[in-house]
């Protein structure tokens, strides 16, 4: 699935866990994307962390799933948020959690009713996924969402992104996440020539860089801060570079003059 913007074509790609927007490169972009990400100096890493966390403390978006650390609710939210705008998820999440507050109730839930609740979000197969996950939690994990990465990854429909999101948000563990927003931010900041795309070829590099940039200990605020920063400031189109708290270390600004 693709659409054109200026000289580049964008498409949506499913990486086995989540949908990401990636750029089908023009000749110029291909040249940019073939260049490695920079290895930031420690002082730039410290600056980046500080600015992201400060920005987040003043600009965090409010969502009901951020007001809880109940792991089952966080897991439900993360599955609903896949490929879906957060604002659209709010009423659906609240109805689902109100009716199925724990794995036991969700595992016994009527599938048709669950599909009706999920329907406004599209991709209603997620109702079945939620029911199957709930059944496995009851059967194999004593009705609790596990904390360990390998156990989370054993749940149907749970890949690396959701596992890390649940570990960092619900259990306050060190577990950086990479989605299209995060990939775009670090690629813009630290590409040698300021590429604005996070292509598949860079996936491992991006993961390594995001992990290096992450503070030690909890990554909850760091993860949520990057997600919000990507949604509100370093947007896919028209990033708000003027006044951006990271413009001093941003290669995208240095290269494009934005």
Contact positions toward ligand SF4, by CB under 6 A?
185, 188-189, 233-234, 239-241, 244, 246-247, 250, 252-253
Name which of 138 and 189 has its Cβ closer to ligand SF4.
189
Strand pairing partners for 22? 11
Q: What are phi and psi of 193, to 5 degrees?
A: -120, 20
Closest CA to 37 of 185, 225, 160: 185
CA–CA gap between residue 120 and residue 163 (Å, rounded): 25
Name which of 138 and 244 has its Cβ closer to ligand SF4.
244
Nearest approach, Cβ of 250 to ligand SF4 (angstroms)? 3
Name which of 115 and 247 has its Cβ closer to ligand SF4.
247
Decide if 13 contacts 19 (C-beta within 8 A): yes
Nearest approach, Cβ of 150 to ligand SF4 (angstroms)? 34
Pure H helices in 6-142? 27-33, 42-59, 71-81, 86-99, 103-107, 111-118, 125-140
Nearest approach, Cβ of 103 to ligand SF4 (angstroms)? 39
Decide if 156 contacts 129 (C-beta within 8 A): yes
Name which of 98 and 257 has its Cβ closer to ligand SF4.
257
Nearest approach, Cβ of 164 to ligand SF4 (angstroms)? 22
């Amino acid at each position: 699935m693709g659409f054109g913007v200026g000289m580049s074509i964008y498409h949506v790609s499913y990486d086995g866990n989540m949908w990401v927007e990636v750029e089908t490169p023009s000749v110029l972009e291909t040249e940019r994307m073939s260049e490695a990400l920079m290895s930031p100096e420690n002082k730039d890493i410290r600056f980046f962390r500080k600015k992201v966390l400060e920005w987040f403390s003043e600009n965090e978006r409010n969502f009901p799933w951020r007001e809880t650390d109940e792991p089952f609710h966080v897991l439900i939210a993360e599955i609903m948020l896949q490929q879906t705008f957060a604002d659209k998820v709010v009423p659906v999440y609240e109805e689902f959690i109100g009716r199925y507050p724990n794995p036991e109730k969700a595992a016994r839930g009527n599938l048709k009713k669950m599909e009706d609740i999920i329907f406004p979000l599209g991709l209603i197969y997620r109702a079945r996924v939620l029911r199957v996950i709930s059944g496995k939690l009851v059967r194999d994990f004593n009705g609790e969402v596990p904390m360990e990465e390998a156990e989370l990854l054993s749940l149907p429909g749970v890949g690396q992104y959701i596992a890390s999101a649940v570990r960092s948000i619900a259990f306050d563990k060190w577990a950086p996440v990479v989605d299209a927003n995060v990939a775009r931010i670090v690629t813009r900041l630290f590409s040698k020539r300021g590429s604005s795309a996070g292509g598949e070829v860079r996936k491992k590099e991006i993961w390594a860089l995001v992990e290096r940039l992450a503070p030690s200990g909890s990554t909850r605020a760091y993860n949520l801060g990057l997600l919000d920063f990507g949604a509100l400031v370093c947007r896919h189109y028209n990033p708000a570079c003027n006044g951006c708290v990271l413009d001093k270390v941003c290669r995208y600004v240095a290269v494009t003059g934005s």
